[in-house]
Structure 1
Amino acid sequence: MKSIEQLKEALQQELNMYQQVLEMAKEKTQIIKQGRLKELEENTSKEQQYIRTMGTFEKIRRSIFTNISQELEIQEPSSVSELLLHLEEEEASHIDDIRNQLLEVIHRLEEINKLNEKLIYQSLEYVNFNIELMTTSHETSSHYGEKEAGNRKTVASLLDIKV
């Protein structure tokens, strides 16, 4: 059946795309650890392009589901799992293998994205801490151990604003 082959091809392409995004997420972890902001920006931009393309695959899959439901004269399935119940064992097995691989890649991607989120949060906390140190004015005396309050000077902060 042509629609089944189209589904297999679409799922395989989607799997390949998710694998590429997974590799980019792994690279992003290293980029974040090394503090390479320009590369982080470029990596994020590429990820956004992939995400837009992935939305297209969802539409394609829905269209294929509609065609399969008409060919098999069944109600349109809401998921790949539901569709598998209506297919021959060999076709169902092949599609299920691709689906399982896809789910595993998505799971690993979620884990890496959580790690990246934590790393970015820690980096932001570090930056905020340093900004606080630089913008806080400190009172220091001009001479060590001098008790006279009139001789104290206030050190102006390096930066007067917090971004």
Structure 2
Amino acid sequence: MSVETICSTLTKLEKMHKSLLELAIKKTEIITAGDIEALDQMLKDEQAHVAAIDKLEQQRQKQVTDYLGAKGFASIDKATVADVIEVAEQQIEKDMLSAVRNRLLQIINDLKKQNDLNQKLVFQSLQFVNLTLGSLRPQNEQINYSGSEIRGTNKVAKKSFFDSQA
């Protein structure tokens, strides 16, 4: 296992995360436009990206573990690229890994910020929907058990215009 192989996988992860970030930015536009069908399709696209990223992440994890094992280090539960950077022999390998790792971390940070924004927008949309539905529904005090509306909540008996004894 070589550092170049790990760098290659990290570069693929970087591209996939960049693509996912672009989808998240488009999702922001879709959420603000309120296009539910487009949002549904966007979620499917995101799920495909996440599945591909997960596959690459498993590959990266195996490569890092194999590399560290080849260097004589005991199997670490969660081996990281930072561990590989520490044990890499040549400075050029360390620099190459550090550069790719830093770019990937920056994209992941940007993606996190964009997803937080999207989450807040969706939450606001749900609050608006709940507020609208709440204003359209009758209040609980106005409905009796049969579901018909109670005409008055006054304790005083209402006087009729007609006298029933006449």
- If the length of structure 1 is used for normalisation, what is the TM-score? 0.79
* 2:80 corresponding residue in structure 1: 79
Contact 1:3 1:67 in 2 (8 A): no
RMSD, matched Cα: 2.2
Distance in 1, Cα, partners of 2:158 & 2:91 = 89
More strand per residue: 1 or 2? Answer: 1
Structure 1 residue 75, shift from structure 2 partner: 3.3
Question: 1:82 is matched by which residue type in structure 2?
Answer: D
Partner of 2:109: 107
Q: Relative contact order (alpha carbons < 8 A, sep ≥ 6): 1 or 2 greater?
A: 2
Sort the Cα spacing of 1:58 and 1:133 in 2 relative to 1 into closer, same or farther, 3 A. Answer: same
Alignment partner, residue 14 of structure 2: 15
Counterpart residue number, 2:136: 134
Equivalence map 1:82-101=2 (5 Å)? 82-87=83-88, 88-101=90-103
After superposition, the C-alpha distances for 1:72-103 in whole angstroms (9 at most, x for unaligned) are 23334611111101111101101111100111
Instruction: Please state if 1:48 is matched with 2:50.
Output: no
Whether the 8 Å CA contact 2:65–2:75 is kept in 1: the answer is: yes
Distance 1:150 1:42 in 2: 61
Computing the radius of gyration from Cα coordinates, the structure with the larger value is 2
- 1:19·1:105 contact (CA, 8 Å) conserved in 2? yes
CA offsets, 1:117-152, max 9 Å, x none?
A: 01001001111111111122689x9xxxxxx9579x
Runs of 4+ in 1 over 6 A off after TM superposition: none
Aligned residues: 143
After superposition, the Cα gap between the structure-2 partners of 1:34 and 1:74, relative to the gap in structure 1 and judged at 3 Å, is: same
Aligned counterpart, 2:146 = none
1:6-26 per-residue CA deviation (whole Å, 9 max, x = no partner) reads 101100000000000000000
Corresponding residue to 2:123 among 121, 124, 141: 121
Contact residue 17 and residue 107 of structure 2 kept, 8 A: yes
CA distance in 2: counterparts of 1:118 and 1:28, whole angstroms:
12
- Structure 2: unaligned runs, 5 residues or longer: 143-148, 152-156, 161-166
**SS of match in other structure, 1:75:** coil
The alpha carbon displacement at 1:54 in A equals 1.3
TM-score w.r.t. length of structure 2: 0.78
**1:35-84 C-alpha deviation (Å, 9 max, x unpaired):** 01111111111111111111111211122123312432333461111110
Aligned residues: percent identity?
A: 26
